[in-house]
Amino acid sequence: MEKTIPVSKNDVIDVEFEDLTHDGSGVAKVEGYPIFVPYVLPGEKAQIKVTKTNKGYGFGRLMELKEKSIDRVEVKKEDAHKYGGSQLHHLSYEGQLKFKEKTVREVMARIGKLKDVTIHPIIGMEQPLHYRNKAQVPVGEKDGKLIAGFFRPRSHDIVDTNESIIQHPAVNEAIQAVKEICNELGVEPYNEKHHQGVLRHIMARYAKQTGELMIVLITRAARLPQKNNLVEEITARLPHVKSIVHNVNSKRTNVIMGEKTKVLWGNDVIYDYIGDVKFAISPLSFYQINPDQTKVLYSKALEFAGLTGEETVIDAYCGIGTISLSLAQKAKHVLGVEVVPEAIADARRNALINEINNVEFEVGEAANVISEWYQDGNRADVLVVDPPRKGCEETLLNTIIEMKPKKVVYVSCNPATLARDLRILEDGGYHAVEIQPVDMFPMTTHCEAVVKLVLS
Ligand SMILES: C[S@@+](CC[C@H](N)C(=O)[O-])C[C@H]1O[C@@H](n2cnc3c(N)ncnc32)[C@H](O)[C@@H]1O
C-alpha cells in the first residue's frame, strides 16, 4: 500500500531537527517523512511552513525558532545582504568543520565503500572570513537604478550588495566602485527576462600576494557604450587595477563568461604567487579562490605524491599549471592537460616566467588526451587529478587503471563524486590510503579533499 504524505503544502507545524543535509538544510521528520528547511541546525526546535511536498520528502520555510542549538551564531536581520552564498553562516566555524568532516566520512563509507582508509581531521582556517579572491556578480535593474549582488536562494531576484563576509575587502571595494561608476555613467543593466540591455555581470579578481586587481565587464552584445569613460573612472578609483577586460556573452545561459574577450586597458593577465612560484592568470582561467588554503592543499598533494626527482608525472585538469609547476620542481618531467585553451596559454607562460623547463602542457579533454598519451607509449609514475565538481570521466579512470601509475593523487571539491570515483579506482586495483579534507570554502557547504591512492 502506498504511504500517505503526513503534511500538506502551507501547513504550519512544530518540528525538531535531527540532521543537516549535504547542502546545509536542516532535516526534520514527521511520521518518518523528511522535511528539509534551510537555516536551521540539528537539535533545534522550530515552527515551519511546508512549502512543497514530493512523494518521499518535502521542503519547508523557517517561521519561528523555538529552541536554539549551542552551535548557532546569531545573525542580525539587517546583515542579511552580507551572506550571499554563505549557506552555513549561522553555524559556528567549529560546527562547520565538524559537519564537513562528517560529510566526507559518511560519503566515503556509503558511496565509496572504502575500508582501511585513514581520514584525517579537516584542516580549517584561523580566520575563516573574507578569503575569496574573486566575485562574479549578476547585474540587474531596480527602480531605474543598476543593481548588482547575488541571486536570492532558489530565485533570479538580485539582492543589491557589495558587502560579503566571504569576499576579500579588495573585491568588495572593487564591486562597489564599478557599480557606482556604471550608475553614474548610465550603463544599461541587463534584463534577463527579455535578454536585453548591456551589462550582465561584473567580475573582480584580486591577487592577494601582489595586490593586483582585474575587472571584467561582461556584456550581452559586443557594444560597450562609455568604454573610455569606464576605463578612466575605474583606473582613477581603483589604483590597484592592472587589467580591465571586456567579455561578451550573447547566449541565454547561466554560464557567466562568453568566449570573446578584449583587453580594454592594462595587461591581459594579473600576476600572483603561490609560495615562490609566480602565476599569470587570464580572465577565462580557473584559479583557486582561497589563496591561504591553496598553499595547504597543494603542499598535501605534493606530500602525497612523494616525489624523489626521478618520476614522470601527469597533472590532469591542470588549469594554469599551479599544481604542475609545484610538482615539476620535485619531478623529472610533468605533463599537464586542461580543456580551456586560455588556461594552457597561461600555464606555458607560467613555466617560462619561472624558468621551469621540465613541463609540457596540452589543450584538450583530459580523458582523450591522456588516452592518446598512453597509446603513444607515455607512462606516468604519479598521476594527479583535480577535476571540476562532476568528478573524473569514467573513461579517464579506466585509462588510469590500464596505465597503472604507482600513485594517484586525487584533489576534489566534491566529496560525493570523489567517493564514486575512488570506488572505481579501488575496483581497478588501487587502494585509497589517506584522505585529507581541507576547508577551502568556509561559511559554505562546499568541501575540498585530497586523497593518496597506491597500487594494491
Ligand atoms: C578544479 S579546477 C583545477 C585546476 C588546477 N588544478 C588548480 O588547482 O588551479 C578544474 C579544471 O579542470 C578544467 N576542466 C574541466 N573539464 C575538463 C576536461 N574534461 N578535461 C580537462 N580539463 C577540464 C577546468 O577548466 C579547470 O581548469
Taking the CA of residue 384 as reference, the ligand 1 atom at the shortest distance is 6
Are 297 and 277 spatial neighbours (Cβ–Cβ below 8 Å)?
no
What pLDDT digit, counting tens, does each position of 152-180 carry?
Answer: 887 889 988 888 999 999 999 999 999 99
Residue nearest to atom 6 of ligand 1 (CA): 318
CATH 2.40.50.1070 location in the chain: 134-274
Cβ contacts of 24 within 8 Å, gap of 6 or more: 38, 87, 88, 91, 99, 445
Whether ligand 1 lies within 6 angstroms of the CB of 182 is answered as no
Question: How far, in Å, CA of 228 to CA of 105, rounded?
Answer: 53
Q: In whole angstroms, how far apart are CA 184 and each of 146, 170, 171, 181, 213?
A: 10, 21, 20, 5, 22
- Domain 134-274 sits in CATH at 2.40.50.1070
Measured distance CA(423)–CA(113) in Å, rounded: 7
Task: For 40-74, write each residue's pLDDT tens digit.
Answer: 999 999 999 999 999 999 999 999 999 999 999 98
Q: How far apart are CA 398 and CA 376, in angstroms?
A: 16
Complex ipTM tops 0.90: yes
pTM for the model stands at 0.95
Report which protein residue has its CA nearest ligand 1's atom 18.
365
Please name the residues in contact with 236: beta carbons below 8 A apart, sequence gap of 6 or more: none
| Residue 190 labeled ligand binder | no
Cα 344–Cα 347–Cα 348 angle in degrees, nearest 5: 90
363 in contact with ligand 1, CB cutoff 6 A: no
Catalytic residue among 182, 318, 392, 413: 413
Query: What is the CATH number assigned to the segment(s) 97-126+290-455?
Result: 3.40.50.150
CATH 2.40.50.140 domain span(s) along the chain: 12-67
Q: Cell numbers 575540498 correspond to what residue?
A: 448
362 lines ligand 1 (CB under 6 A): no
Which of these, 253, 377, 383, 261, lies nearest to 324 by C-alpha position? 383
pLDDT category at 1 given cuts 50, 70, 90 is low
Residue 318 in contact with ligand 1 by CB distance below 6 A? yes
362 assigned binding-site residue: no
CB 134 within 8 A of CB 204: yes
* Residue ranges matching CATH 3.40.50.150 in the chain: 97-126+290-455
* pLDDT tens-digit readout, 375-433: 999 999 999 999 999 999 999 999 999 999 999 999 999 999 999 999 999 999 999 99
CATH superfamily of the domain spanning 12-67: Nucleic acid-binding proteins (2.40.50.140)
413 is catalytic: yes
Q: In one letter, which amino acid is 25?
A: S
- Closest C-alpha to ligand 1, atom 11: 317
